[in-house]
A and B are shown apart, each in its own frame.
Chain A
Amino acid sequence: DVKVTQSSRYLVKRTGEKVFLECVQDMDHENMFWYRQDPGLGLRLIYFSYDVKMKEKGDIPEGYSVSREKKERFSLILESASTNQTSMYLCASSSLGLAGAAETQYFGPGTRLLVL
């Protein structure tokens, strides 16, 4: 079975704290993604990675960084948390896919982050 896990379901942090959100997949997928989800805005891509140590900015990378030191693990880092980063964070992974095929993304359970 496909499995994507995230380190926390709920997290409460203070403004200015450094926050780490961890995501692990056990499907040997090449691609990994971080999204944030906000009411009325849907899911927006923060960063993605298509290989170890590789990363690409998504639509809203400001205030975030990522790390991918191992294939199965993709970390999202909030360098200095702010209240406008209170959100639901979803990690996903997908295989590389054959040329012309749009590979399915599988999601973790999400982390609800509250920044006070």
Chain B
Amino acid sequence: AQKITQTQPGMFVQEKEAVTLDCTYDTSDQSYGLFWYKQPSSGEMIFLIYQGSYDEQNATEGRYSLNFQKARKSANLVISASQLGDSAMYFCAMREVSQAGTALIFGKGTTLSVSS
């Protein structure tokens, strides 16, 4: 079974609008971390935001916020006031803390296209 599911292969939004990118995860660990990365066409993976499983507040970083619903096992990324430069692939990822030294588990990504 997939551990990270991103159900939206592509999303389209106009400049200045907000957009939500969906992510659901599956883990039996109590302690884990959730990450969002942005990958522009240049290829580099850029870290955007992190949410720990014990964090009570939703994480925010500038125009990015993470809508964390633990009971539903969802960690959606919200981008407010979209910009043309936000057009990229976005990946949700999880690290299970009990798995010491292991890598991130990534979803398959969502392509976001922002138009003027």
- Contact partners of B33 in chain A: CB under 8 A: 101-102
The chain B residue with its CB closest to the CB of A34 is: B103
- Contact partners of A48 in chain B: CB under 8 A: 101-103
Is the CB of B45 closer than 8 A to any CB of chain A? yes
Interface residues of B, Cβ cutoff 8 Å to A: 31-33, 35, 37, 42-47, 50, 52, 54, 91, 95-97, 101-104, 106-109
Interface size of A in residues (CB-CB distance below 8 Å): 28
- Contact partners of B52 in chain A: CB under 8 A: 101-102
- Contact partners of B91 in chain A: CB under 8 A: 42-43
Closest 3 pairs (CB-CB, A-B): A102-B33, A107-B45, A110-B43
9 A-B residue contacts at CB 8 Å?
A42-B109, A58-B103, A100-B54, A102-B33, A102-B96, A104-B47, A105-B103, A110-B44, A112-B43
Q: Does B97 contact A35, Cβ atoms closer than 8 Å?
A: no
Q: Does B97 contact A102, Cβ atoms closer than 8 Å?
A: yes
- Contact partners of A104 in chain B: CB under 8 A: 35, 47, 50
**With A43-B104, A110-B45 already in contact, 16 other A-B pairs whose C-beta atoms are closer than 8 Å:** A9-B43, A33-B103, A42-B109, A43-B106, A45-B103, A48-B101, A58-B103, A101-B97, A102-B50, A102-B97, A104-B35, A104-B47, A106-B47, A107-B45, A107-B47, A109-B43
